Structure 1
Amino acid sequence: MKKVITIFSIFFLPAIFFVACEDRPDVYEFPADKYVYEIPDVPVTEDYVVGVAYETKYRDTLYHVWYDNGKKANALYTGTPVLGEYDHREDPDVLRQHLDWGKEAGIDFFVLSWGGHGMNDTILMNWEKLYAQDPARPKVVIRFDPGYRFRSGKDSLQLSPLHMDSLRYDLDSVYTHVMKHDFAYKKADGKPVMVFCNFTNTSQVPRINDFISFLKGSETIHNHIWLMAELGGGWKSPEQWGYNAVNGYNGPTNGYVRPDSIKPFDAFFITDISHNSYDRYYSQYSYLDYNYRYWQERMKPLGKEYIPTVQPGFDDRVNTPASDRFFIPRWKDDTGAYAISDISSQYNFSSFTENPYKKWANVAKRNVGESRIVMIYNWNDFGSGRNLEPTEEFGADYLQYTRQFFKKQ
């Protein structure tokens, strides 16, 4: 028996070794054509729906908006706003100008955060009046943040019927007094559109499906709403949010962001496409294109949609000098791309031959869903140079770019 095994080993094991060596390539070749490719120009044959995140600004150190904490000599923004350091509470004409600029840019809706009754209710009342005067101005989409109802300690929001009832009452109120009105953006089927955020807090919202079903199922809303989930920044895969190739839901949970987030929402988007990965920077347009296409292909069979996000630029060095995130440069007078903070002037972007914003727009247009919505982050985030709002450095250039890239001329 031992002799038989020895003879078998002499002939069979070398054969295995030969086949293994024969099948193994000498050098691994990265499939560059699959991940690194040029993004073609996408002509606008039909208008895209443009949504832009909108922040309320205050001249108050409490909000850390215009200034560093108590250090008013250190301005925390990139670029110089044409309107200066405005305050929504003090000057209602700020909103009028923003809506007029939004109309100029072809923006269909602004996304306004709402986290409890307060100053934003006043802004919304003013918004409705301004929209009634000119319905060509952008509409509003509410970004609903349940965080103001989160309880202290270890008790979850869902274990408190009182807090859950209060939250649903608030949402019903916004739905009735804002989202059903003419100045709120709706889909073609008449469903009001809303963004839901801050749902990754598993200690407060341990069962997201039950949580959303409870809110949407009220007698007031009765599921007549199209709900977009704000996934935050970062290029993550749908698997990291609970996608399962077998049935679409309840994917792996170990180490993932939120394992049950796919089911309760109608659409998904991220808020930041900046990154600190050189590989992504080297092939940033095709990598993001691949990511968006992957999401869209997996959401479509579920009757859901992925909303592509783009940014006019990115430069966070004023706020974070030691940041390792790559710039998304700006474009000026067809002379090359550059960022506008003092620290970033050492970088030379003259090798750019095309407006980066245009290339991001092409990525988005290649990957829109049935709604044709594209999200732009953001209108007035001067702190990280993502602002679409006019500055002294660029004037209204980026308003014109936005209309040119997303609206039929």
Structure 2
Amino acid sequence: MKKWYLQNMILGLGIGFLCFGCQEIRMKNRPFPTVSLDSITVIPVEEDKFEIIKVTNNIKEPVPSSELIEEFHYVPLETTDESLFAYCTNIGFYDNKIYAFDRLGTEKLYIFDNKGKFLKALGEKGGAPFEFYLPKAFAIDTKQQQIVIYDNQKRKWMKFSLDGNYIASHDVPFRIGRNFQILPNGEYVTATDKGDRNNHLGQYSEYKILYTDSLGHLKKAACTYSETVHSSLGYDPLSRKRDEILYTPMYLNEVYTVTDTALYMRYKFDYSDFTPFEKNKMGTFESYDDFNNYLLAHTYLFIYAENDTHILFVTCDKQDRRFVSFYDKRSKKTVNTAGFYYDTDFSMEFSSGIYSYNDYFVALVPPTTLKGLKQHIDEITHYSAKEENMRLFENIKEDDNLVLVFFKIKNL
């Protein structure tokens, strides 16, 4: 199947260059819709009430998974010719469906039911209203019950029903480098940075959070700090916890709650036991090498996810050394560890994104990892494994889609 996919991808790329090259150039040079800068409201950033999470340098060697994992289950995403994706750069959950987005490989959004059965893919290439040039990000509009996909070539919000049927599209008056989310009131919240080069927005190009209505009209802006194009975002800074939208500005070791009236600092991570990234350095980097050398010598929050009971975050320390932390929001206790070693049939990786779903965290697991876990279980017989998990490990193929693992953390 992988061979089939690669052959067709190469063929598709060749045809795409021939058929759409001139159209793509025109799309890149297309002017932005007019923005009335006088009508934009700056909303405040409140930093007077927040919780400090102290991250100590007491980092455990890899711990047994049974020591921290309370409960877990796997959901394999069905693999067919139509559902096979190359990467998964974002996951969403809504309406008993799983939405898996691949913006790097196939450039499609895949819809599965909550058991992992494939339902539909969105991402046909072309110039028709329902087709894409370069889909960049997606979000679920719970107010309108719609999927919204941003196309970075067309520079449009493209709207679909939750089942994947095209509805309409609207112009977006700025570039989006990473992701966006949609508030319960229907406003679209977008994270930007200097690398997006939205200079046509004048003073508002300095703001990191931009709000539009569902028609694409720029309404509000929030959050400024000095930066250069060399310190552009390396991951999606907006995430969800149920109906809350959280903003994690990269390198700044802070987390905010985003509302329609203000940004509220939620947590501040204290890395004083390390060498924390300094906020006032963000606007001083004159080259990427300058920025990268500084990055490798400092400590910063790299991955953040929050569910109802815990926070799971990955810290990037000097020379790109990483460790994972689990913070219990009730007991206020933190466990820092270099990772897991497996004494159960649970497996996950911390190198990709971590997501939350109610009181679960959700991670992506490659089939090869599960194959390796089965071999480990077969060789180490002092613990048991669930029968359904062993069947999954036995039957999954190495070139199948990624598997989701839903897991809960024990009380700390």
Is the shorter-chain TM-score for this pair beyond 0.5, marking a shared fold?
no
Structure with higher strand content: 2
Structure with higher helix content: 1
Rg larger in structure: 1
TM-score by length of 2: 0.30
TM-score by length of 1: 0.30
| Larger RCO (CA under 8 A, 6+ residues apart) | 1
